[in-house]
Amino acid sequence: MKAQIRKKIKTKLSEITESEWEAKFLMICEKLFSLKEWEQARMIAITISRGLEIPTRPIIEQAWKEGKQVCIPKCSPGTGAMQFRTFSSDDQLETVYAGLSEPIVSRTEEVKQKAIDLVIVPGVGFDREGFRIGYGGGYYDRFLAGYDGRTVSLLFDCQLTNDIPRMPHDIPVDILLTESETIT
């Protein structure tokens, strides 16, 4: 079921024109940058986006411009664990499995959960209560189980669906930002 939902939403995303994508993305960023959670955050956790994901590079650059620290995830496919590590320049990145960009351990420092003020949680599909379908690894659900800070997800309206299956271990995101609404 999750695979079918992922496929359906990815198809919808692929149909958005470049100019629509840009306009919608700018609206979402405007909402993000005016959130009190963003304004108060000193350490922001975010992924390096790729493909049909909301682009995170402009968000990372805005965080740096505002003097915030940024950390990005390092996943361990063998154990299913994910830790966040400091990120301040592209020479700290390496390409790993599935073409993902992750921090180079020897050039970055681990950031403990309690030091992260805001986690920008990626996902493919979301329901209005903040439950999500991610990319299938379960990394964020495991990470968020021990995290008590604020979470936000950035998505286009077409990524909202009522079909998100829920498991007992799933953790909803606090705030969803789309081009047309803020859902808390």
Which residues sit in the known binding site for substrate?
48, 53
Q: How far apart are CA 150 and CA 173, in angstroms?
A: 8
Q: Write out the binding residues for ATP.
A: 2-6, 132-140
Bridge partner residues of 101 (DSSP)? 95
Exposure string over 143-159, b if 16+ CB within 10 A, otherwise e: bbeebebbbbbbbbebb
Q: Write out the binding residues.
A: 2-6, 48, 53, 132-140
Q: How far apart are CA 140 and CA 13, in angstroms?
A: 22
Residue 58: both structure tokens together: 């402009």
Q: How far apart are CA 164 and CA 151, in angstroms?
A: 18
For 33, 41, 161, the CA distances from 125, given in Å and listed in that order, are 22, 25, 7
